[in-house]
Amino acid sequence: MLTPEFRDRSRDVIASTGSRLGQILHVSTDLRLVNPNDIDDLVKLDEACFEDLYYDADEFRNELSIPSSYGIVLCTAPGTVYGGKRVPLIGSDKRVLIAYVMGHEDNDGPAPLRPIAELSGKGAYIVSFAVHPKIQKRGIGIGLMACFEELSRMQAMNYLRLHTRTADNPESNGAYQAFRKMGFDLTGTLKDHYDKGDDACEVVKQLGQSAAR
């Protein structure tokens, strides 16, 4: 359960990231903590971002019911103009969810594929992270991840860990390359990690002190 103190402390970093991401897209955006009212829009965004590996509403509901769950969603007005082009996006007529990242305290402990001595203490497991395909490769993912890192440091997390789908060669996976740019290191690959038999690679990032401190 997110404490009122965390919500208070997170407000500034979320607001400043939100306005920076809005400047990248040349629109007014609203970055905020995720909540269960976002589930329908999260499912729609996942359908647009992932091939057949997206979460359904029950999976998001389960994730958000984990007491240590936290995440951020980036929203903007529908039919927004991106760089001069009017791009119909997704969501209700009131707001459009265009990117998110969410996770929870890493119950498995330090990354199983990495020597425990290198990753100790409390960490976060990122369950999902997506940016709408129409606005990818513009710095939105890197900005969202930096904000999620800061929120994780506020909760005394020492590292971030996640899995992403991979073929034999992770280097051929765009998301893997994005995570490398975000400072994650590959710890290894897991055979048949996903329900449909796809392999995954695991990446981790050790969280140092915030540059802002």
Ligand X SMILES: CC(C)(COP(=O)(O)OP(=O)(O)OC[C@H]1O[C@@H](n2cnc3c(N)ncnc32)[C@H](O)[C@@H]1OP(=O)(O)O)[C@@H](O)C(=O)NCCC(=O)NCCS
Residues 6+ apart with CB under 8 A from 164: 173, 175, 176, 179, 200, 201, 203
- Residue closer to ligand X (CB basis): 27 or 142: 142
**What is the binding site for ligand X (CB under 6 A)?**
49-50, 128-131, 136-142, 164, 174-175, 177-178, 181
- Residue closer to ligand X (CB basis): 136 or 155: 136
- Residue closer to ligand X (CB basis): 9 or 186: 186
Minimum distance, C-beta of residue 50 to ligand X, in the bound complex (Å):
6
Minimum distance, C-beta of residue 127 to ligand X, in the bound complex (Å):
8
Minimum distance, C-beta of residue 177 to ligand X, in the bound complex (Å):
4
Cα radius of gyration (the chain): 17
- Tell me how far apart the alpha carbons of residues 189 and 206 are, in angstroms, rounded to a whole number: 19
Minimum distance, C-beta of residue 106 to ligand X, in the bound complex (Å):
15
Q: Which residue is nearest to ligand X (CB)?
A: 174
The strand ranges marked E within the chain are 29-33, 70-76, 81-82, 85-86, 96-105, 123-131, 159-165, 185-190, 200-206
